Amino acid sequence: MANAWLMKSEPSEVSIDDALAAPRRTVAWTGVRNYQARNYMRDQMRIGDVVLFYHSSCPEPGIAGLAEVVSGAYPDPTQFDPKSDYFDPKASPSEPRWLLVDVRITKKVELIPLAQLRTYKELAAMPLLARGNRLSITPVTPAELRFIQARLMR
Residue 1 pLDDT > 80: no
pLDDT at 2: 82
pLDDT at 132: 86
For the chain, the DSSP string reads ---EEEEEE-TTT--HHHHHHSGGGEEE------HHHHHIIIII--TT-EEEEEE-SSSS-EEEEEEEE-S--EE-GGGG-TTSTT--TT-BTTB---EE-EEEEEEEEEEEEHHHHTT-GGGTT-GGGSTT---SEEEE-HHHHHHIIIII--
Residue 107 pLDDT > 90: yes
pLDDT (tens digit, 9 = 90+) per residue, 83-92?
A: 999 999 999 9
Which domains does the chain possess? 4-152 (3.10.590.10)
pLDDT at 61: 97
